[in-house]
Amino acid sequence: MKNDTAKKHPVKHIQKLLAGAEVEWKSLGEVGEFIRGSGLQKKDLKESGFPAIHYGQIYTKYEMSANKTFSYVSDDYAKKLKIADKNDLLIATTSENDEDVLKPLAWLGNKVAISGDMLLFRHNQNVKYLAYYFLTNRFQREKMPYITGVKVRRISKSSLAKIKIPIPPLKVQHEIVNILDTFTELTAELTAELTAELAARKKQYQYYRDQLLSFKEGEVEWKRLGEIGEFQRGKRFVKKDMLSEGIPCIHYGEMYTHYKTWATQTKSFISEELAKKLRFAQKGDVIIVGAGETIEDIGKGTAWLGDSDVVIHDACFSFKSPLDPKYVAYFSRTRLFHDQIRRHISSGKISAINAKGLSKVIIPIPPIEEQKRIASILDKFDTLVNSITEGLPREIELRQKQYAYYRDLLLSFP
């Protein structure tokens, strides 16, 4: 931004620039020309050749503006396609949800081929100004009456052309873009800093956990899990069996998304009638997930410390032993544990391990008081990392809301 006023009081800065200037409200059809893309499918995309953008990539690959593509088509094929040029606004017109319909991409690169279900908007305005306006809450409300379709939601070129937008002088558009670009950069920088902080804390936590659970040869006794405890596999139930109340249950998928090192309550429940046919873990058991899409996640344990028994899925095992359950659960998340089970995991579309493989894992067994002390120390680290993990999305969401507020404020005209 050019001066302190623009930085500290962006709205006042824009109002000053607008003094005596007219802001016209025009339909998009008056502002420019819409050209529909054609023909290009994902299977046509290549790693080199003529730059190309498939409409689906606007949702998954691109932010609000770009000057380079992630894919290409052959030069000959590009001749059959619609070509966008620098400063065209690219718009995805089809999605499964209303929020993504008309997601914009300000194109700042050279010529690029575009697919169907996509429009290029050729105009003489600031392309990033247009893209920013497409993201405002006001524009989102304006587009809703024009969206059609049931499973696939879409908007037509003729309908889009009817929507009116504010057109301030180009000088004002440029200043608005400069201000919003700065907000975007600051938000991205903060997100990167918070993400790096989280990664550093997790790495530090993993280091101390592995150190606390490492013992020198002869310092403590080492035994196989199968020698000191008993594994029991759960029985199958499916997600549609899960209720908001009833008998507590743990589905194996929840072990990846919800449960941490220990738990006293479940997220889900099943009916009492179905529970009679299934298997339970008891207080003090460690629930270990035995199947998943990635080898790294298999074997993670959660100490069940709830007062009631809990039904477990058939892709989970309960482990009952005289060891401290939290100690075992923390050990199940160490590199040493996973290095041991890796050789016993069968790979395929779904990777899995059985009770026999888990039983072969060797675990260090210090006195029970030491097990509890180690678990208590790791609880403190766990709490710290989880508070950062939970706080990070909230902090990012807060910054994004602040950014959206200023964006909408800057782009609000009477």
In angstroms, the Cα distances linking 207 to 210, 299, 332 are: 5, 19, 14
- Work out the number of other CB atoms within 10 angstroms of the CB of residue 104: 23
Residue 189 pLDDT greater than 90, yes or no: no
Under 8 Å CB-to-CB from 40, ≥6 apart: which residues? 52, 54, 73, 81, 113, 114, 115, 116
Tell me the per-residue pLDDT of 130-159, one tens digit each, with 9 for 90 and over: 999 999 999 999 999 999 998 899 999 999
Q: Which residues touch 163 (CB under 8 Å, ≥6 apart)?
A: 27, 28, 139, 142, 143, 146
pLDDT above 60: residue 410: yes
Q: Which range among 208-212, 319-323, 358-362 shows the weakest confidence by mean pLDDT?
A: 208-212
Q: pLDDT tens across 220-268, in order?
A: 999 999 999 999 999 999 999 999 999 999 999 999 999 999 999 999 9
Integer angstrom CA distances of residue 102 from 44, 65, 133, 160, 167: 23, 14, 11, 9, 19
- What's the rounded Cα separation, in Å, for the pair 109 and 95? 25
Report pLDDT for 79.
Answer: 93
Kindly state the tokens that stand for 382: 């766990």
pTM for this prediction: 0.65
- Tell whether the model's pLDDT for residue 94 goes beyond 70: yes
pLDDT at position 208, please?
85
Residue-level pLDDT at 202 = 81
Q: Could you tell me which residue, 330 or 13, shows the higher pLDDT? A: 330
**pLDDT of 183 above 90:** no
Cα–Cα distance measured from residue 182 to residue 172, given in angstroms and rounded to the nearest whole number:
15
Q: Is the pLDDT of residue 391 over 90?
A: no
